[in-house]
Each structure stands twice: as C-alpha cells, then as structure tokens.
Structure 1
Amino acid sequence: MYEQIYEQQNELAKLIDRYSGRDGTHTTAIPSLIFARQSHITEPNYSIYNPSLCIVVQGVKEIFLAQERFRYSLADYLIATVNLPTTAQVIETSTDIPYLSLKLEFTPSQILEVLRDAEIRVNPKKDAKRAMFVSPVESSMLKSVIRLARLLDSPQDIPILAPLFTKEILYRVLQGPYGSRLGQIAIEGSYTYRIRNVIEHIMHNYNQSFRIEDLADIVNMGVSSLHRHFKEVTAMSPIQFQKQLRLQEARHLLLSESTDACDVAFRVGYESPSQFSREYSRMFGFPPIEDIKRLRAKDDQRINV
C-alpha cells in the first residue's frame, strides 16, 4: 500500500512540476485546479483559504488558523470547508526537491450534489466543528486526483470529465473520517451552514461595524450560540475574524497602490490610525510603512537574483 501511494505521489509530482515549471502559484486549464511550486522556504503568507482540498506531494507546509497550527506533508491532505483567514508557510523544500502541491476548489452545491447522489446522510443538528482539518491521504483518493490531473494532457476531455472526477474526489473525502464536517457546509439549517452565511456577511462588509446581535438575527441564532459555534468553526470570534480581514486587505492595498497608511486605515474600517498601526504591527511584526518597505526590498532581491 505504501509503495502504491509513493508511486502515485511521484506521478502527481511530475505532473505538477511539468505544468508549473517555476516557483509560484499556477492556474491550470481545469478552472478549479491550482498547482504550487516553491524551491525556497517562504515568508509567512497571509491570505483567505477558500473551500478547497490541498494535497502536498513534495515538501512540508504549515498553516496557522488563529493560534492553531496545521502541518501537512506528502502523507496528508488538508481541507478548508469555509473561507478562513490564515497564515501559511512552506517550511521544508529545496532546489533539488521543491515543494509541490495542488489545490482543488469546490462549492457547497457540489458537496450537496454528491451527498444526494450517494445518499449520504448528514445530521444537521450536530454541533459545528473546526472548518479546517488534516487527514492521512489514501491511495483511492490519489487515484482519483491523478485521473483529474491527467486531463491536462487531453484538454478536449476537460469539460466532460473534470466535473465527474471532481465529484469522485469529493465523494472520497465525504467517505473519510472527517466527511461529516465537509457535509455540514451544504446542509441548510446546520450550524456550520449558518456560520458560513455569517462569514460571507462579514467578508462582504468587513469595513463596516456590526453588532453581534445583528449577526445572530441574520441566521436566526442566539447570541451565545452564534459566538460559540463561530469560534468552533473558525478558531476566532467574529470581531477577530473581521480584524484579520481588515488587516490582510490593508496590507494588500499598501503593496498594490502605494497609498498613505492613514488613508488605508480608514478604507478598511478603522477610525483610529494609531489603533490600526498597533494592530498591524501585532499581526505582521512591523508597522505598516516599515513592513511594506521590507516586502518590496525582498521582491527587488528576487527580481535581481
């Protein structure tokens, strides 16, 4: 079994390396399939992990969700079932054996389709669980993933076969030890389903103040129940979740628009530039302007190497 898994990972590694070619994140002809390659240990990357399956075939990656750490390598797969602000870093790689991984994005409607077709029952009354988990990868899942990735060699088959192979992969996850966690995002009325709606509301209105009572009303939950289940799903409170979104967007704006830090603070919802600077420094390790100068200097070094 281990020899079979090793051979499957080796085939996936060759496919990812062939279709990426250089360090970075690479979209493919299959819209939901993304490859990543890194030959050097990376800086912490602050981003939103959207609902997806991630498989590493070379190297090791570490992800922080609030203070909780998820470490996964070629023996594991990682699932995020809702949008989550995270910190990710490739921690083991080399120029000879670069970090290689794939990401398969999915939607709740795709999960619901598999649940219905396979007649998989999910209890909607179960308490919400963490929306990110790591599980050992199995040969049956790798076989399904290889079938999907091989379609890149025959692009004319992608429109018909990619949805079928994606469905097969999701079925494998739903049959696994954490399948009920994944299924909960698609079951209307479940706690995870309702927390997903709260997350979407915060993401679309991250620069606006809110009352926890208003969020609870949106999804017909009590305040204490919302707070408890939200923290169980995301490892943070709604306010902490919003803060992560604001600071990530602020950093993006500062890097992309070369604008004033005070202006960015107001744009992402802060009323006090000094509070923005303190919280930015706490999250990224440096005040806004110093952090952006540092990041740009690193980019210039990479360009000139």
Structure 2
Amino acid sequence: MENIIQNLYSSVKRFPISEGQNQTSIPYLEIHCYSQKDIIIPDTQNPFIYLVVNGTMRLHFSTGVFDYAPGQYLISAIDSPISGQALSVSPTSPFLALYIEFSIDDIVSVMLDMEANFMEMIFEKEISTKIQPHDDYKLLDVILRLLNINEKQDEMAFMIKHLKREIIFNLITGPYGTPFAQSIVKIQQAGDIYYINSWIKQNYKDTFSVEELAEQNNMSVSSFHQKFKIAVGMGPLQCQKKLRLMEARRLMLDKALNVTDAAIEVGYESLSHFNRDYRRLFGLSPQKDIQEIRTCLYTKAQSD
C-alpha cells in the first residue's frame, strides 16, 4: 500500500498545482491543495470521493472525529454534514487531495450493467451508519492509472470514460458498496430536497420553521417533512440541531472555546438546552466528550 500511495503522490506532483481547487484535463477530477488548516469540502448534489494524497485530513461527524491518512478517502452522502481541517500543513508540504465527482447517471449505468443477483444482495443489506476512513488497493490502482493517462486525444477520451466506470465499479463492490449504492437511490429520490439540505447547512445558526421551508418549496408541511426525512434520514429541524451541535463540538475541540461560548456561537440561547441536546446526540456532557476525544486522538498519535 505504501508504494502505491507514493506513486499517487509522485503522479499528482507532475500536474501544475496552485493553492485551492485545481481543475485537470480530466473533466471529473480536481486536485485540491491547501497550505492552511481549513479544507473546503465540496458541497454538491453529485456523489464524489475525496482521496487524501499528502498530509492528514480531520473530519467531524456526529459519530466521531476521524483522521484520514494518505490513501484513505471519504465517500460523500446527502446526510453527512462535515467540516474539515488539514493537520501539520505548510507551504513546502501542503495538504493534497483528489476530488473525483460522478453523476447519478454514471453510477446507475454501472449498476444496470452488473449482475442482477449482486445488486439485489447490495440493496438487501442493512445500511451502515458509521462513517470511517476507507482505503482500497484496487481503487487506488485505478486512480493511479487515471492520473498517468498519456494517450492520443481520441484514445484519452475513451480511457477517461472507461476508468471512471472502473472506479465506480470498485466503489460498489468494495467494503462500503452497500451504503454507497443505497445513497444513490436516496439522492435520486431526494430531488430538490438536496438544495434545501444545503441551505440548512449554510443557515443552521438562524431560526426557521418547517412551515417556512415547505412554503418556500411550494409543498405541504406533511409532504415536505416526509420527503425530507426519507432523503436525509431525519427531519429538517433535527438536521439543524445536529449541525449546530457538531459545529459546537468542533469549536470546543479545535478552537478551545468553552461550553457557553460554543453554544452561543452556534445559535443556542439556553445553556441547559444545549447541554441536554449535546448529551442526547453524543452520549456525554460537552466537557466529558471533548476530554475523551482529546485522549483518543493523543493515544492514536502516540501509537502511530
């Protein structure tokens, strides 16, 4: 695995790269480069993978705080609000990642070409709710071949399409194929719900009601709430609350804010209400939760 990661890094370094998001000649591939701590994770309706090539990426989920090392990748999902930081970055050794985006049609096309029995088995499995870093040698090998394409223009166009399908195939047949395939169905069914979910991500500190959201989207309250819950897995106000609590957790962990300041920063007016909601989502009081995370991260860093 170490050799292929080094080869990925060498291949990426051959591209002209500047700070931020760099589009390549491959339409669905970008190289992201950050010498500062904050990482801009794409917010798009289309599914994507985000593969770390150099440095370490820390992402915050309701299920925990996870560090992604080179060769590990994030698979996007409609119900995964995230914030990210790059650890130990500098102008001489920036954080590097590959952003590979797919359309729903791309993925459905591959699914339709696969054996019906296999896809039936995929959809019968229970979807995993635990989000963790992934690595997969077969997938990394395909991405390496994509980076090293050096064909004539007409041949290159064919290979780009072929390798995209191969990447999708490896995602579906890989260890996290079930949640990936099932998330595609969710996005297909979501329609305009994605845009509402994205709006909530940007405005979660503000006060709004389900009635206002339903009216903005010309839907009845009951129909809107049901459609949102099917697509995202929770109601819109639950989604807002989760976003507030996750951001408060990040502020306490990364910015060393105290409990009161973090609660106010994310829009809470009552500290007791914040503490109650926090314990309900994370299972511990804010102080104990942050202390446990710091201990776990320190122990992991010492063992690496």
Interval of TM-score (by shorter of Structure 1 and Structure 2): 0.5 to 0.7
Q: Judging changes above 3 Å, is the alpha-carbon distance between structure 1 residues 7 and 153 closer, same or farther for their aligned structure 2 residues?
A: farther
Matching residue of 1:230 = 232
Q: 2 CA distance for matches of 1:80 and 1:202?
A: 17
SS of 2:25 mapped into structure 1: coil
Matching residue of 1:167 = 165
Matching residue of 1:209 = 213
Which amino acid is 2:136 matched to?
V
- The match for 1:116 among 112, 119, 122 is 112
Q: 2 CA distance for matches of 1:59 and 1:186?
A: 29
1:35 Cα offset (Å): 0.4
Matching residue of 2:181 = 183
Q: 1 CA distance for matches of 2:4 and 2:241?
A: 41
1:9 Cα offset (Å): 1.7
Q: Judging changes above 3 Å, is the alpha-carbon distance between structure 1 residues 281 and 80 closer, same or farther for their aligned structure 2 residues?
A: same
**Contact preservation (8 Å) 1:48, 1:86:** no
- The match for 1:148 among 146, 157, 163 is 146
Q: Judging changes above 3 Å, is the alpha-carbon distance between structure 1 residues 97 and 35 closer, same or farther for their aligned structure 2 residues?
A: same
Q: 2 CA distance for matches of 1:86 and 1:239?
A: 17
Bigger shift: residues 84-93 or 209-218: 209-218
Q: 1 CA distance for matches of 2:191 and 2:24?
A: 29
Which amino acid is 1:43 matched to?
D
Q: Deviations over 1:141-200 (max 9, x none)?
A: 11100111223776554422111101101111111111011111344xxxx357644732
Q: Which has the higher strand share?
A: 1
Counting matched residue pairs gives: 231
Matching residue of 1:134 = 133
SS of 1:34 mapped into structure 2: strand
SS of 1:103 mapped into structure 2: strand
- The match for 2:265 among 261, 265, 281 is 281
Q: 2 CA distance for matches of 1:13 and 1:33?
A: 15
Show structure 1 runs of 5+ residues with no match: 220-225, 246-277, 284-305
Matching residue of 1:8 = 4
Bigger shift: residues 159-168 or 112-121: 112-121
Matching residue of 2:290 = none
Q: 1 CA distance for matches of 2:178 and 2:163?
A: 21
Q: Deviations over 1:217-255 (max 9, x none)?
A: 548xxxxxx37x734xxxx6422546899xxxxxxxxxx
Q: Judging changes above 3 Å, is the alpha-carbon distance between structure 1 residues 158 and 20 closer, same or farther for their aligned structure 2 residues?
A: same
**Contact preservation (8 Å) 2:127, 2:178:** no
RMSD (Å) for aligned C-alpha atoms? 3.6
Q: 2 CA distance for matches of 1:32 and 1:146?
A: 15
**Contact preservation (8 Å) 2:78, 2:187:** no
Q: 1 CA distance for matches of 2:67 and 2:106?
A: 27
1:17 Cα offset (Å): 2.4
**Contact preservation (8 Å) 2:57, 2:84:** yes
SS of 1:151 mapped into structure 2: coil
Which amino acid is 1:87 matched to?
S
- The match for 2:69 among 70, 73, 97 is 73
**Contact preservation (8 Å) 1:56, 1:72:** yes
Under a length normalisation based on structure 2, what TM-score does the superposition of the two structures give? 0.62
Q: 1 CA distance for matches of 2:180 and 2:163?
A: 18
Taking only the aligned residue pairs, the percentage that are identical comes to: 21
1:137 Cα offset (Å): 2.8
